[in-house]
Amino acid sequence: MMPRNEGRIINVSSVNGNKPICGVAFPSAKGAINTMTLNIAIRLSGTRIRCNPITPGVTGTDSARAWAAGEQEGGGKRLEFSDKYVNTTAPPTEAIDRACAALYLAPGMGRAVTGQMIQMDNGQFP
């Protein structure tokens, strides 16, 4: 990328990197990805190399459905806490939502976007 002065770096993180409500380890790891991505974007500003994190909310997976039903270990307590911060009535996101964000960032459509967290969560994490 450096020799060509052009490229796209798209990291997949989580909304929990900015809104750390799901334990400690997961949000800490996602927060680190966000910070690293933004640092790279700052270091490469002024070039045609862009770096952005995609930060999805709850995704419609078996694990997420078990979490929402309180079926995961500690899930009931976690739900009790997270309901204060999460709009649990909003629908989950799907994998296609990440793909659409990446398609926006990868080619020329998002050519002026760098160092911006692209959050997709259907309003789950206001």
SS3 content of the chain, % helix, strand, coil (to 5): 40, 15, 45
pLDDT in single tens digits along all 126 residues of the chain: 999 999 999 999 999 999 888 778 989 999 999 999 999 999 999 999 999 999 999 888 888 788 777 787 766 666 677 777 888 788 989 999 999 999 999 987 899 999 999 999 999 888
**Quick check: is 59 in a domain?**
yes
Q: Are 87 and 126 in contact (CB under 8 A)?
A: yes
- Is residue 74 situated within a structural domain? yes
In a domain, 125, yes or no: no
Residue 106: burial class (beta carbons within 10 Å; 0-12, 13-18, 19+): middle
Q: State the Cα–Cα distance between residues 52 and 54, nearest whole angstrom.
A: 7
- Domain extent, residue 69, equals 6-120
Task: Kindly state the helix (H) or strand (E) to which residue 56 belongs, with its residue range.
Answer: strand 48-56
Q: Determine, yes or no, domain membership for 126.
A: no
Global confidence as pTM: 0.84
Could you tell me if residue 1 is inside a domain?
no
Number of domains in the chain: 1
CATH at residue 103: 3.40.50.720
pLDDT at 79 (0 to 100): 66
